[in-house]
Each structure stands twice: as structure tokens, then as C-alpha cells.
Structure 1
Amino acid sequence: MIPRRKLAGSSGVTLAAALCWLAATPALAQEATPPANDTGGGSQTDIFSKDTLSVLVDARLVVANGATSYVDGGFGKTRFQGGDDGGFKARAVPVEADLIWTPRFTSSLNANVSVAYQKNHEESVDLIEAFVNYLPERKGKVGFSARAGLMWPEISLEHSTGGAWSVVNTITPSTINAWVGEEVKVLGGEGTIHAAVGQSELTATVGLFGYNDTSGTLLSFRGWALHDEKATAKGYFKLPPLNDFIVHLQEDRTKSTAEIDHNVGFYGRLDWRPPQPWGASVFYYDNKGDPEAFTTAGQWGWRTRFWNVGFNADLGPNTRLLAQGMTGSTIMGFETGGQRWVRTKFQSAYVLVTHMFGDVAVTGRAEAFSTDEHGSEMPRNNSEDGWSMTAAARVPINDHLTALFEALNVRSSRGTRVTLGGLTSPFEGQTVFQASLRMRF
């Protein structure tokens, strides 16, 4: 029998109150330092025009092998899978289409709203992002900015900050940023202080959020994956087969943007950019989830915490290095024998190098990943280890068309492939070749 879930305390800080505080902060900053001159921000207004609306379309030719993909509820690590026998299979795929709206309300206030079609996603057309940016003109050594809405925290070094949250120099992001894309989307607000310290630039960001209570579900039950699917406002991700205990508690899918316990999570980020051509960042996240909270539909609260460190450097005039590392843990369920039902530790890291040959960008990435299970109802064979190698090229064709080519190989071991997936070995190697044509108008 499942114990009755705990009732949230009425004395806790509500998400609404937290967002109200964040929304008020920019106004307070303006009041404390009134502008020396009226810049006439209204003249910067541009709500609907060819400059505020854009469309991004991604069509691909894919050749892949391997067992059933996570997309179809399997243990495959990639978005695309092989034929019925696991051998290579080729297909042409219209992967994604995005409508991006970036209105400017004043010279310091703008917004980003993205709606996307994603092939094989449960909600084939859904809201991707919707947030407001406040970025006043910086006057002096200290500045302030803020964001609020449905958005991803700034964790990924591989994605662009513009609409559609797209990877820049590869087709597939690393396991770290693939997971961020599917389970670390938040509804909240953040404030950032920018400061010049000597010849260096320091920034500090603090964010408060909700609607991210299920973060960790995919990492525990499926493990890491390599793909470019993105969480949406209403969509779900399928789960692989679950064990005999969990299957009676957890729905066979997980909703990334769910609010179950009404606790307010937080994150913080520090960035350092010295005068030399490199930069470093550290990020901490805690969704403050209640692991004993659940819905009648079988969606559970997860307490997920992690650290992420990032590093970027220009190795030469045409060569750039990116590196990220993440380590964290997530728990779910009640205690049995002193342990939560599910307790997963996770780690991943990658190094990526891009070199420009004229207008063509050639990229190589190596990464390793793992999860370690310690829960009372998740045996150790649910743990996994793996690594992957990726090679890619980005070739601009004209102002509206870009071609990308990618070869990805991933090898991993996970015991549930045998015990729950019906496969003969816990080991699997998968290779995916992709050619993408991105059209932006």
C-alpha cells in the first residue's frame, strides 16, 4: 500500500509570490538609478514585423542501427533506431518546424515565444518557450538583467540563445544538454548582476521556479540519451519498461512541465570572463521536489539536485573548445529499509572542439556518462555506463539555408535491457548518420 502523500505546509513560499518579487526587482533597480537621459524607449517598439517573426524548418536524411529507441519506449540511446533486426535503416524525416516571435516592447524589454512541430512528439505542435527579457542599458561597471516565463536556465554551451533553442555546430547535443532539453525546463524568473572587476567580467544569476517536479524521471528509468527533442508546455516523454514494483506506481510516460508539490525550486550561476580568450561557469540546481508527492495519474515528485561546470576557450583564431561536466542525484518515493524507492546518482562530461575552414565549421566531441542506482526498489543492474563520439560539419549555403552532417557512435551498458527489455545482452552499440537541411526565413 502506498502511504498517503504529505500535505504541503501553508507557511512555505509560493511560486506566485516568488515571481512577483522577481518581477518587481527590475523596477526597483530602475528607481534606484534613474536614467540620465530619456532614450525614448517607445521608439524601439516592434511587435509584429519581418524582423520579429521567423520560421525554422529542419529536414533530414537519417541512416541508423540499433534496438528500439527511447522515442518508442525502448532502451535505445538515440532518437533514431535501426530496422526490425537492429540493422541499418535509412529514412527521410521532416524533424522540426518552429515559429519564433521576438517582439520588442522598448529598448530594454523584449520577449521570445517559440511554437514548434516535433516529429513523433506526443504533442506534435506545442509551445516551446515563452519568456520576457529585461536588459537595460548598462551605465558604469555594474549592470542588471532579468528573465521570466517558460524557459531553459542557461546551462548548455552548445545551444544558441535565440529562438528555437537549437544546437549550433552539431545536430545532436551532448547527453548533458539533451537531458537539459527534456527535463530541465522551468516556469520561473531569474535576475542577473553583471560587474566589471578589473579587466574581468563577472556575472551572478539567481532563479526561482516551479513546474519542474518530475525532473529526474527519465534519467532514472531510462538513463542518458543522445537526441535533440525538446520538452514542451504540455507534452510527455515515453518511458521504457518498468520493473514489477514501479510499474504499479508510475505512469508509462512522464510530463516534464508538471507542478505536483507547489514547492519553489532555485538555481544559481556564476560566470567569469577574464581578458584572456576563455571563460568558466558553475551552475547549481535544486528543484526542491517532494519525493513523496504524486498525482492520481501516476506522476511523481522528484528531488533533483546537480552541479554543472562549463569552460570555453579560443585555442587559436579559428579553433574553439567547449567542455561541460555535470554530477547530481535524484530521489523518488517513500523510504523502505532506510532507502528511498529510487535513488539515482548521475554523471556526464564532454569535450568539444570546433575548427573553422573558411565558412565551414568542423566539430568533434567525446563524452562519457553513467548512472548509479542505490534505491530500495531499483536494483544495481538499473545502473548504466557509456561513452560516445561525434563528428559533424556545418556548411552555410546562403542567408537562409544551412547544411549539417553528423556521424555519431554511442556504446553503453544497462542491465535492464536484459531483465526488462527482453534483449540478450546489456551492451549495445549504435551508430547514426544524419544530414540536415535547416531553412530559416
Structure 2
Amino acid sequence: MIINKWHTLALFSVVGLPIQAFAEHDGQLTVTAVRGDQLSSYQRKGIGLYRYDQEHDGVVISQAMLSSRFELNSDWSAHTVLNAHPDPELTVGFTQAYLQYQPLTASRYKWAVKAGGFYPKMSLENPQSGWMSPYNYTNSAINTWIGEEVRAFGLEASIKRPGRQFRSNHSFEGVASVFKGNDPAGTLLSWRGFAMHDRQTTFNERIDFATPNSFNWYQLSKQAEHVEPFEEVDGRFGYYVGAHWDYQKRSQLRVYYYDNNGDPGALNTDTGQYAWDTRFLSVAWLYKVNKQTRIIAQLLDGKTSMGPHRGVDNDFYSHFVLLSHKLD
């Protein structure tokens, strides 16, 4: 069930200066009929790779989402996404919250800066408000993991060359970001592996997983049996860079390189969270065959390591091809 967009208008003043704020809200409530996996879900410290197990059989509210955009003036806007999940316990929190500066200029090149917590724009599978997908109720393994463990808390700058401004069929955009607070990213890939679901991790949330036998080793005994993926552990800055190409809004390509620059020997002894050194390349492509049909493909190839002397050193890889056809 999708809640239609609605708008609000507010007038107020700061230091005597009147400000007119225009707000747009977009909500979605997803109700799902579930027949769960026989294996216990990782959320209940089982070895299942799905969100639901047989304990969830029946009709469930899988999530509620409220995405809001506040136009503060012609240049500044504030964006928030609030999510609620009923499992493994009722959780309400933000999955994105940031300020954006996008000035109106006479230049044919358009640029913007945003600050806060947000997703890198590497996915073509999740283009809707709230980083939702219009194609599936279950995300690909790649974007399931992005929704679980990857978020930037920092600054992102982008510059765009719109094709229309240059009488060209080709549009280009460059993106760069520096961030903190994503040090444990890679934990779930190593201790649990890829999963497939539509649940996004909210800020300050933890995700449980089954305890592997390797935690009995002294070198890994300090690792918690859960991950808090957006924690800052080592004090270092991470970064990502990306490039977008768009041909007549028919063929789109996005290439990103992400590196959280984690110090694999750094550990928060209070929370049991290591700083994982996680870096990866993401390549996503979308092709519109016609108004109803499109093809989406994505590839993710990376490495992650943790612990003194990089005692855990893993490669990870995934790709998918999706064919979507919308009935009239």
C-alpha cells in the first residue's frame, strides 16, 4: 500500500528574517504475506539468510517509510527518511537525514553539496523515495547488503553536465564524498554472507548474526555477536568517488569506488566493533527497452579485512541481471 504524496507550507522567522518553507512528504506501508524459511533467521541468531523464518508465517507489516523534503529556500533543502520495522523488535529510526545546497546558477554546469547521513547513489535498483525499489519486494544480494551496512556520514559534492544544456544526447555527473561512521561495514559479509530482503538498517541500530566457531579463537574473541554498521571506531575518514553517464534517459551507467579506509586493528572494546578495511567497485547499468520494459544489471567486487595483522582477509563478489516489465 502506497500513501500518496502531500505537501505543507510553513512561515516562520529566524533572527527577524522571514523564511518560507515548503515541505513534500512521501510515505509507503508494505504489507507482506510470509511463508518463512525453515532455517532460523539471522535476526534471531540463526543461520538463515532471509529476513523471515517460520516464526513469521502469516501476514506481516514488513516496513513503513516516510520520506520528507523541506525546501528552505531556492538553494537549501533538508531531507529525512524515517523507517519503522517490526522485526526482530519494533524499531523506528532514520535511514537518511541530510542538508543539501543546490544553487540556481547561470552556468550550464550544475553542482550540489550535501551533508549528513545518506546512501551513495550507486544503485539503479532503488530509485524511489526512501531508497525503495519499484521492481521487487526483495532486493538483490548487492543492494540488500548496501541497505544493511553502507551509509555515508559526511559530505558529498557533485557536478553535472546536463545533455540538454549542451544540445547533446549525453549527460555526465561526477560525485565525490568524504565520510566517517561506517567502519564496521564488511562484518556481515564475513560472518554471515550476503542475504536477500528489503530491510534497511536505521541509524544507531544493531544487527545480530549466528556466532561462528571461529569466535572461540583468542584473536577473534573480542568481536561482538552483532554489528553496529555506522559506528566510528578508528577516527579515519573514508571516501568514495563515482561517475554517471546517461544517454537520452534510456541508457544509464554508474561506476563507484568506495573505501572506508578502516584500520583493521582498531577495536571499540565497549561495543565489540572492529574497524574493517572495506573497499569495493560497483558498476550498475540500466537500459529502457520501451516505456514498460527495462533491464538492470549490477556488479560488486571488493575486499574486506579486520583484526591485528589482518587475521580475517576476505574477497567478495556478486552480480545480478534483472528484467522488469510493467503491465498497462
TM value normalised by structure 1 = 0.65
Instruction: Tell me if 1:296 matches 2:269.
Output: yes
Q: CA deviation at 1:43?
A: 9.8
Post-superposition CA distance 1:51-94 (Å, at most 9, x none): 534443222211233311111112211111236xxxxx731112
Residue aligning to 1:270: 243
TM-aligned CA distance change 1:317 to 1:43, over 3 Å: farther
Larger mean CA deviation between 106-115 and 266-275 belongs to 106-115
Aligned length: 304
TM-aligned CA distance change 1:347 to 1:44, over 3 Å: farther
TM-aligned CA distance change 1:44 to 1:107, over 3 Å: farther
Residue aligning to 1:420: none
TM value normalised by structure 2 = 0.87
Q: CA deviation at 1:266?
A: 0.4
Q: CA deviation at 1:285?
A: 0.2
Q: Find the partner of 2:30 among 58, 67, 88.
A: 58
Task: Tell me if the contact between 2:44 and 2:88 (Cα under 8 Å) persists in the aligned partners.
Answer: no
5+ residue gaps in structure 1?
Answer: 1-41, 84-88, 359-441
Partner secondary structure for residue 263 of structure 2: coil
Residue aligning to 2:8: none
Partner secondary structure for residue 56 of structure 1: strand
Residue aligning to 2:176: 206
Residue aligning to 2:92: 125
Residue aligning to 1:346: 316
Amino acid at match of 2:146: V
Task: Tell me if the contact between 2:25 and 2:66 (Cα under 8 Å) persists in the aligned partners.
Answer: yes
Q: Supply the RMSD in Å over aligned alpha carbons.
A: 2.1
TM-aligned CA distance change 1:199 to 1:114, over 3 Å: closer
Task: Tell me if the contact between 2:122 and 2:254 (Cα under 8 Å) persists in the aligned partners.
Answer: no
Amino acid at match of 1:45: Q
Of the two structures, which has the highest relative contact order with CA contacts closer than 8 Å and spacing of 6 or more?
A: 1
Structure 2 Cα separation of the partners of residues 279 and 43 of structure 1: 41
5+ residue gaps in structure 2?
Answer: 1-16
Instruction: Tell me if 1:75 matches 2:47.
Output: yes
Instruction: Tell me if 1:314 matches 2:277.
Output: no
Task: Tell me if the contact between 2:112 and 2:158 (Cα under 8 Å) persists in the aligned partners.
Answer: yes
Task: Tell me if the contact between 1:269 and 1:284 (Cα under 8 Å) persists in the aligned partners.
Answer: yes
Residue aligning to 2:154: 188
Task: Tell me if the contact between 1:280 and 1:310 (Cα under 8 Å) persists in the aligned partners.
Answer: yes
Q: Which stretches of structure 1, 4 residues or longer, exceed 6 Å deviation after superposition?
A: none
Residue aligning to 2:307: 333
Task: Tell me if the contact between 2:222 and 2:269 (Cα under 8 Å) persists in the aligned partners.
Answer: no
Larger mean CA deviation between 231-240 and 310-319 belongs to 310-319
Amino acid at match of 2:20: T
Q: CA deviation at 1:133?
A: 2.0
Structure 1 Cα separation of the partners of residues 323 and 250 of structure 2: 15
TM-aligned CA distance change 1:316 to 1:53, over 3 Å: closer
Task: Tell me if the contact between 2:37 and 2:50 (Cα under 8 Å) persists in the aligned partners.
Answer: no
Q: CA deviation at 1:123?
A: 6.6
Task: Tell me if the contact between 1:185 and 1:231 (Cα under 8 Å) persists in the aligned partners.
Answer: no
